[in-house]
Amino acid sequence: MTVRQPTFPRRLRNREPLVGCWMLVGHPVVGEFLAQQGFDFVVADGEHTENDVETLASVVRAVDAAGTDTEVLVRSPSADPADVKRLLDLGPRGVIVPQIEDVDAARCAVEAATYPPEGVRGVAGTRPSGYGTDLETAVERASEDVVTILQVETAGAVADAAEIAALDGVDALLIGPADLSARLGVFGEYDHDRFRDAVATVVEAADAAETPVGTLATTRENLETRHAWGMDYMVAGTDLGYLRDAGARYRETYAGLSTEENT
């Protein structure tokens, strides 16, 4: 792997309106195909899927091999520093860390993603350094070339949002609507005052720290609504969602044709 200087981290940190997609199916063909669809980034999910480290490694390689400007991010199975460090050794453009409970957990996640002396990420001759052929450059450039995105999906993270957003090494926040609404006791009630107030708190904290904040929209209908929350970037749907929607449209179209023929 050749160490290169990407534009994605700079564009994210500059709060450009980037759009990505969420990848649940852990097959390299899916990653390669999504990378050819014009998205700024693809998120390979390691939390709510059966995808293991080897599967995620194949997806990372496939997105890179597509030869497009699309970058790949990997969501860690947990906020455990061991998970974060191991996934970064696969060579993604960044890591998304879920279930951040408070500012202490946020600080721990950032340290796991950062080389010493600021952090505790282990130095190894893995894929990001061309398997050790350019280790010094990889370590020197990691803070610029690799992004750390923390998920805000707990009441504690909302309460500490201002401190979390201001932490050195936090490149962006990602609001998880489903988990956040559940943790607030209003699961799925995205218009509930408790949920909307929490989102507003996070957006205000991110704006004050000049830290990008985004979220996931699982349907085209809520894409506009969630963008209006004040998001800087958006994950616009999932691979399985695209399959479901396209399949339904084809099925409904054919059903309409069949009905016309029988009238």
Catalogue the active-site residues.
Answer: 48
End-to-end CA distance of the chain: 61
Residues in contact with 152: Cβ distance below 8 Å, sequence separation at least 6, in sequence order:
100, 158, 161, 164, 173, 174, 175, 176, 180, 202, 213
| Length, in residues, of the chain | 263
* Strand ranges (E), the chain: 19-23, 41-45, 71-75, 94-97, 147-152, 172-175, 213-217, 233-238
**CA 69 centroid distance within chain:** 16
- The closest of 215, 214, 221 to 241, measured between CA atoms, is 221
- Determine the Cα–Cα distance for residues 57 and 215; give it in Å rounded to an integer: 24
Residue 133's identity, in one-letter code, is: T
Q: Measured between alpha carbons, how far is 190 from 174 in angstroms, rounded to an integer?
A: 16
Distance CA 36, CA 105 (A): 35
Helix ranges (DSSP H) in 89-173: 103-112, 135-145, 155-159, 161-165
